[in-house]
Homo-oligomer: A and B are copies of this chain.
Amino acid sequence: MSVATLDGRTVRVALLGCGTVGSEVTRMLIDDADELAARVGAPVELAGIAVRRPDKHPELPQHLLTADAGKLVESDVDVVVELIGGIEPVRGWLLTALRKGKSVVTGNKALLSEYAAELAEAADTSGADLYYEASVAGAIPLLRPLRESLAGDRITRVMGIVNGTTNFILSAMDSTGAGYAETLDEATRLGYAEADPTADVDGYDAASKAAILASLAFHSRVTASDVHREGIAGISASDIGAAKLLNRTVKLLAICERVTADDGTESVSARVHPVMIPRSHQLAGVGGAFNAVYVEAEAAGELMFYGQGAGGAPTASAVLGDLVAAARNRVAGGRGPRESAHAALPVRPMGQTPTRYHISLDVADKPGVLAQVAQVFAVHGVSIAAVRQRDRLSTASLVIVTHLAPDAALQATVEEISKLDVVREVVSVMRVEGEDS
């Protein structure tokens, strides 16, 4: 390892990007300098701030500003904090930093979910630290517990609400009964959704986070493109209504599981899609822009982590925690736990991933309908957990919840059922979590 320890001098920090989170990081580095120095064991000095347009930031210390991020990274700094986001040109700068033995703290989920292997290798080669707590679930301490606290356990499942925008929209649809389009408009008006909400509502943001979580939890390499992704644009008021009738609610969840096949071989399933969960489930009560992640491990059992998933100050808290760790390692001469993909589990395709479906059908009111429908399930090897007929409170007259079955078999079942003469309409199809199978 080629990283030199510091002998009494300050830890010099380069900040790349100074938006909502970066300006909060800057404020904390300046205001809390004494306290940070006590925790690190040496002063932490902000050596430079790279922003696109230095003249647009009169509020920042002018002598620290530069438009040349590449030059700042190559200057005499010990830690690079990156809060710009996106893949290029950030990837090049961070690789340069790591290769030169400078530690990196980043909240860049897009980059990490695609290039974690390359970045980790650069860090390992030089002995630098690579921390990215802020990339998932904002202020919630989640990556460090997964990587360190549970390092002696076997994680079997990570499931959570990791996108505040979609959670705000689904919470609002649930409480108002309104449809998706008008609720999205309202969320945009209130600032909970961006002008172009694609990354959030189509699940790209959550899929990046799922890739990061699955990689850490299962010591494997999972990239965003490995994650099965469905957004919330297809959720209708009648989906939410069908859930309500069953005392359930709909959430967009990131779900990462260790799946063991009958022959004992293990694989990883990582997916993001809307899920129907019981209102009594802990994740059901997580409203608005909050995040919550549920972790199951063989020895620890069930754990839950809850807090603010976004915002300047909460995300800055996660960045500062990582920065203190990286700086402390500089001073003490150690290094944080490295990335580990030693398990190298393959990713299981969605079609082979075991899931459960909730299906609401509007069917013809005559004898033998259930028998016909049940026959389709049987043909596809899908076993039925519960059936409710003639629910007077809804338009649906047949509600079915399945046992666990491969997702492809469930999809095929729904498709075939929708073609039955006796089925007037498939009112709602939704995956189910959080109940006994």
Is B139 touching A303 in the complex (CB atoms < 8 A)? Answer: yes
A283-319 interface mask toward B, CB cutoff 8 Å, 1 = contact, 0 = none?
0010000000000011111111111100101101111
Partner of A305 from B24, B305, B308 at Cβ < 8 Å: B305
Q: Which residues of B have CB within 8 Å of A317?
A: 150, 152-153, 297, 299-300
A176 at the B interface (CB under 8 A): no
Is B152 touching A319 in the complex (CB atoms < 8 A)? Answer: yes
A328 at the B interface (CB under 8 A): yes
A7 at the B interface (CB under 8 A): no
A144 at the B interface (CB under 8 A): yes
Bound Cα distance from A169 to B4, whole angstroms: 55
Partner of A320 from B139, B152, B340 at Cβ < 8 Å: B152
Bound Cα distance from A141 to B307, whole angstroms: 15
A20 at the B interface (CB under 8 A): no
In this complex, what residue of B is CB-closest to A320?
Answer: B152
Partner of A334 from B285, B322, B324, B329 at Cβ < 8 Å: B329
Q: Which of A32-40, A61-69, A157-165, A420-428 contacts B (4 or more CB under 8 A)?
A: A32-40
How many A residues, CB 8 Å from partner? Answer: 59
A154 at the B interface (CB under 8 A): yes
Bound Cα distance from A321 to B299, whole angstroms: 11
In this complex, what residue of B is CB-closest to A328?
Answer: B337
Partner of A313 from B282, B299, B314 at Cβ < 8 Å: B299
Is A306 touching B320 in the complex (CB atoms < 8 A)? Answer: no
A412-424 interface mask toward B, CB cutoff 8 Å, 1 = contact, 0 = none?
0000000000000
A49 at the B interface (CB under 8 A): no
Is B308 touching A307 in the complex (CB atoms < 8 A)? Answer: no
Bound Cα distance from A152 to B403, whole angstroms: 46
Q: Which residues of B have CB within 8 Å of A149?
A: 133, 141, 144-145, 318, 321
Known interface pairs A139-B299, A314-B301, A332-B334. Does A148 touch B35 (Cβ–Cβ under 8 Å)?
no
A28 at the B interface (CB under 8 A): yes
Q: Which residues of B have CB within 8 Å of A337?
A: 325, 328
Q: Which residues of B have CB within 8 Å of A323?
A: 152
Is A304 touching B306 in the complex (CB atoms < 8 A)? Answer: yes
Known interface pairs A306-B282, A321-B151. Does A313 touch B301 (Cβ–Cβ under 8 Å)?
yes
A322-344 interface mask toward B, CB cutoff 8 Å, 1 = contact, 0 = none?
11110011001111110010110
In this complex, what residue of B is CB-closest to A34?
Answer: B342
Known interface pairs A307-B300, A313-B299, A317-B299. Does A325 touch B154 (Cβ–Cβ under 8 Å)?
no
Q: A38-B342, A151-B324, A333-B333 provided; 5 other pairs, C-beta below 8 A?
A: A28-B152, A39-B342, A139-B303, A152-B317, A299-B317
Closest 7 CB pairs of A and B: A334-B334, A152-B320, A141-B149, A141-B145, A139-B300, A300-B317, A299-B317
